[in-house]
Amino acid sequence: MAATAKEVTPTTSPSSDLVSRYAPEESRKGADIIVEALEREGVKHVFAYPGEASVDIHQALTRSNVIRNVLPRHEQGGVFAAEGYARSSGLPGVCIATSGPGATNLVSGLADAMIDSIPLVAITGQVPRRMIGTDAFQETPIVEVTRSITKHNYLVLDIDDIPRIVSEAFFLATSGRPGPVLIDVPKDIQEQLAVPNWNQPFRLSGYMSRLPKEPSEAHLEQIVRLIFESKKPVLYVGGGCLNSGEELKRFAELTGIPVTCTLMGLGSFPTSDPLSLQMLGMHGTVYANYAVDKSDLLLSFGVRFDDHVTGKLEAFASRAKIVHIDVDSAEIGKNKQPHVSVHSDVKLALKGINRTLESKGAKLELDYTAWWEELIEQKVKYPLTYKTFGEAIPPQYAVQLLYELTDGNVIISTGVGQHQMWAAQFYKYKRPRQWLTSGGFGAMGFGLPAAIGAAVANPGDVVVDIDGDGSFMMNVQELATIRVENLPIKILLLNNQHLGMVVQWEDRFCKANRADSYLGNPSNKVYFHGNVFGCPWKDCMEKLVLLFGAVDVLMRGSLLGEGDEASPLLRGSQISAPFVASFSSRGPNPGSGNLLKGSKVTPAYEAVARTALVLQFAYGASHLNLATTENPGLVYDFDKMSCTISMPWRPHLVGTKSINGSSMLPRFGYDAPTDPSVQPQHEKRQTVNCRCFQAKSPQYRSSIYVQCYTIKALKGLQITVKSTSLLFTYPLQNRSFKASKFAFHIKEEFIAKLPLTMAATTANTPLLKPSPLASSSKSSIPISKSVLHFRTIPRKLTPPRSLSVSSSLSQSNSTPGSTASAVAPTKAPTHDFISRYAPDEPRKGADILVEALEREGVKDVFAYPGGASLEIHQALTRSKLIRNVLPRHEQGGVFAAEGYARSSGLPGVCIATSGPGATNLVSGLADAMIDSIPLVAITGQVPRRMIGTDAFQETPIVEVTRSITKHNYLVLDIDDIPRIVSEAFFLATSGRPGPVLIDVPKDIQQQLAVPNWNQPLRLSGYMSRLPKEPNESLLEQIVRLVFESKKPVLYVGGGCLNSNEELKRFVELTGIPVTTTLMGLGSFPSPDPLSLQMLGMHGTVYANYAVDNSDLLLAFGVRFDDRVTGKLEAFASRAKIVHIDIDSAEIGKNKQPHVSVCSDVKLALKGINKILESKGAKVKLDYSAWRNELNEQKVKYPLNYKTFGEAIPPQYAIQVLDELTDGNAIISTGVGQHQMWAAQFYKYKKPRQWLTSGGLGAMGFGLPAAIGAAVANPGSVVVDIDGDGSFMMNVQELATIRVENLPIKILLLNNQHLGMVVQWEDRFYKANRAHTYLGNPSNESDIFPNMLKFAEACGIPAARVTKKEDLRQAIQKMLETPGPYLLDVIVPHQEHVLPMIPGGGAFKDVITDGDGRTKY
């Protein structure tokens, strides 16, 4: 794979060996040329997800007899699967995606392949060439976005270049240092006909001249000489040696030099070989790191000297001479300067060295016995080991057991985190390409799709994904692909309910302060032997796995309730109904052994597990031995509660649950005593009333301790616990106390007296029935049946922003996009803000960052933690004002921040770590950019000194996002943080709103400083370009045109969302009919008689008729995008055009106006209205004849649909929802047919009711956007109208909805297909299905996957409806059920969204009839 220019051989079959299905001179589509070019490169499998811009490629794939497409359920799953294919086979992986979000969803995989040197070819569809640069639907400059994270990329502008470009792409991907190459193919190129020339020469002379040559004989002699001189040599090998396994073994055999591997190099030398020291680096073996530290010669072959291996560079191998051989000259000397370097393919270099050694008889002369004795002593002293605690399963043991049962012969893939390191440490890899992991990039969610790629590439091998719960959830939708493709993948899930590696850092460096690292349900912590989302494993993971059929799960455990009589389930077993098991990798689980040995699970326990707000177990310890009692635990509600006493499963601080900035739960911990007389060492932690905590002393393990700082009179003190069902007191023992602190332990005999009925009180507690349209609680956490009422201390409110914007479903008099004269900075004045720090008190950069957010009025953020953002999350736990809503994927976080912004008008804030965390934001940033959404994204970055070194999880996110953000920052000075944050919010909300990214290196976050909050903004150039007050003469000119017109039409877009009152007044004054874009829905009430509803491709006939026949088009806050205009020359061809927009770049970009005003629409409308009022417009203007003409069109071409028996028309479902909510709900959607039906059949009354990904068209948007809307609007009904394809893309966010208890209703229009692509196939491709069926082809009668099981796994009520007559009642129940709810509405896939103007067509081409039941 990493070969020299001389040795490179294409991985394809020669063109002469391929029998083309076309005659030599036969013309064919560009898409068919692409597919045949792939065939000629030897491609057998691709991982492709279809979309409009790639539909022709998918159609061509169906005509190929050579290539099989494995359909992923998310493009990120596709690119990771292609990586797994390449990593396990050595052949280049191929993935295909559509334009826009399909392309941006590949970014994390491309960055991963780049840093790990994986040969990958990614092909993306693009909008037609004539539309590039017009901000067309799903247009993204993917070549610009990926320039810094691919080895090379292409934008195809000539169909004749396709054969050469594809051939070059494969050569580039596999030669030299392998890497990813991207090919962007416009749709019109795919559709064009041509005769390909397969014999074009490469245009890579510069690149080929830089490829490494044969290694110099002199250099090889020098290396051999150093080996003979050395006493303590070490061979340090990396991923660059994966193709040199045999040569490496021969070298070790000749020399006897010990071998250590990087994470990427595992398998290049057998781990079980006596010469192996296993992995080195941060989590490497002690003896491997000892060997490097003490060595006098470090032979570095195919490595990068990355930070997770070297640590402190100056100290790494400081005693050794360093030899570095690598195929990439850029790596040599980049991080560590070698004494001898060879720029060559490692395979060729090793062959030369071995040849030299053999000629010298090295085996007789080299003797490293003393060195080996020293290393063996270290192996004995510091072996890889772990501790066991009762029957709790050490994760290391699970991996060891897997190794024993498979004899070390399976292919292992992993996610990223602790499980990844344990898989690297405790599985013994025998050969290259057994080990698949995201090494340098550290991409969570990699393991499951990578296993798919490996299983496809290696059909005869066993593939096991060793995964963690956090990583597994990130691409959990790919279980559907595993089932449909029937891949025999085994999933070993090490489930600890946490982001384990982050927790480890919190334990070690943050005083065990939990900062958004718990992934379970805090309101239902059932820590017995494993759970997911706070539900028992039996009730959750079984359903999640069985959701997709018989996916094998490799696990070990005992049968609950049968104790030792049950034999362990070891291999290839499905989870059976009574089976409860988990790999609890969060360390010891005291007492779990006693629970499992003969203990009985009572019915009351089941009730508790379902209904308790807080449930903690106290069992199995010698001092609190409750394992044999009928009482499984205690639960209290929080009504006037002054203390709670309970016990979690692990000896770590559970932490507080922050509600509205106040602590809801006391902190508590658990220890099991071996010596009750030992006084614990207390750790001070602030709580509300009291706290239970963990003892520092390891031998003090089983009492629960409560610590209080408020009681002065200690002798004879009693503690009172009050709940709705019980009031009891417990007398404290007489003991000596220091000052005003005291500690005590609760004895078993007292706790055992508590009535068991307490545990189930919540099940029968009557709750007030909330209105279906409004929460009955004013708390930001809505009431649910499964959560008790509680009361919290209201948080201190920050002063309002200087810049006022409209809130959800309410009217506003200002706009984020205001003029320069009206704009004020969004941050609250410093003197109004009360900081928790003294003015001159130094604080960490992370705390400065969080306080800067507080000063901007931020109340909610959507943040997923990681190594480079850990400090920010720690700082967030110290904030009393900001609440973090923890998503389960960074893409879910950025879409939720968008939903927050779209529904409230306030800027949304999302936070992610570096590397994959940052790149997972890319689709959301591109979406916010094209739809003009105010968003501030904050990303962690590696420390400044490591930038440019390819450090772990380093990505140039500023470069990646430069073309898809309004502005971005890399913070290089801690003193700049206050100014940069203030500027970011100002930029995001002023002018045309958009996303701003702030990249903050970790050392900046940790640095101490005293912030200056009064720094001026440095935006003079930007502010000078902001639009001014509209020119009076231009407004007069517009009014004159209005008076002259006979057939005017108002065409309004998203730029009018903050101008709805002015817009209504203008319509009232003039009587001009109004049509809106998709983004403008709600800016003018849809039920109004003057509303023509939406125009464009799927707009109403009468709206498009009005525009086509108008003589004056008043275009306010619009972009003239392709989905509205169709054929530009034919759009409003009879009309004079007036264009008012805040962004001067939009004026005249696509359609030249007759009159243009660069201004805030709100101010322009105010001015126009003022002029009209002065002229008495209402009397003079009469458009009744025009309105009558349009009313005739409304009668002739209404929005309608057909019904077929009992089948549910999807349009009818939305109509019923509109009726039952009276058009007052906030609606979010995914992208596809359901999106268009929601735009057509729901009647929007107000701005910010309608949340959808308009310009980018990002599938997976609806569910997380609903989360953001529910957080921003706690009193509103939020409904996600989604399709099954879109819903699956971010299905993991159901966990967030449940944990946050957000009352989101999900109306799932499930047609088992990618409906919009199917519609295009029906209309334009003779109904040829090209990877658009999302069900299970082997059993099409079943609904697959079972969405109800997803909801059930997350504790969300759900139902399915299949008959039209049952639909209204089902939707009514959904709305009336407190908390979240999913309604799976099965609809026919033959339905088409009508009307429809084909892409690039005009109004005369409108389609008003037909569906998939008709052939075209």
**Residues noted as catalytic:** 890, 952-953, 1002, 1316
Q: Are 1036 and 997 in contact (CB under 8 A)?
A: no
**Nearest alpha-carbon partner for 578 in 559, 596, 565, 564:** 559
Intra-chain end-to-end CA distance of the chain, in Å: 48
Measured distance CA(1412)–CA(1416) in Å, rounded: 9
Q: Are 1248 and 898 in contact (CB under 8 A)?
A: no
Q: Are 690 and 643 in contact (CB under 8 A)?
A: yes
Q: Are 283 and 421 in contact (CB under 8 A)?
A: yes
Spatial neighbors of 1133 by CB under 8 A, at least 6 apart, are 1108
Spatial neighbors of 698 by CB under 8 A, at least 6 apart, are none
**Nearest alpha-carbon partner for 690 in 741, 649, 654, 732:** 741
Which residue type occupies 393?
Answer: I
Place of tokens 């912004």: 901
C-alpha distances out from residue 973 to 484, 867, 983, Å: 52, 20, 15
In the numeric block, which tokens belong to residue 18?
Answer: 């391929």
**Nearest alpha-carbon partner for 327 in 3, 91, 6:** 3
**Nearest alpha-carbon partner for 473 in 772, 74, 166:** 74
Measured distance CA(1351)–CA(563) in Å, rounded: 31
Residue 446: CB atoms within 10 Å: 35
Measured distance CA(1182)–CA(1173) in Å, rounded: 15
Measured distance CA(967)–CA(1120) in Å, rounded: 24
Spatial neighbors of 368 by CB under 8 A, at least 6 apart, are 231, 232, 233, 256, 257, 258
In the numeric block, which tokens belong to residue 723?
Answer: 């709940």
Q: Are 169 and 202 in contact (CB under 8 A)?
A: no
Three-state SS string over 364-380 comes to: HHCCCHHHHHHHHHHHH
My answer on whether omega of the bond before 383 falls inside 30° of 0, hence cis, is: no
Helix (H) or strand (E) holding 502, with range, is helix 500-509
Coil, strand or helix at 1305: strand
Residue 895: CB atoms within 10 Å: 36
Q: Are 117 and 179 in contact (CB under 8 A)?
A: yes
**Nearest alpha-carbon partner for 705 in 689, 693, 687:** 693
**Nearest alpha-carbon partner for 389 in 701, 703, 629:** 701
Question: How is the beta sheet containing 1155-1158 ordered, strand by strand?
Answer: 1091-1094, 1074-1076, 1048-1052, 1112-1116, 1136-1141, 1155-1158
DSSP 742-810: B--B--HHHHHTS-GGGGGGGGG------BTTB-S--SSS---TTS--B--PPPPPPPPPSS--PPTTS
DSSP 1054-1086: GGGTT-HHHHHHHHHHH---EEE-STTTTSS-T
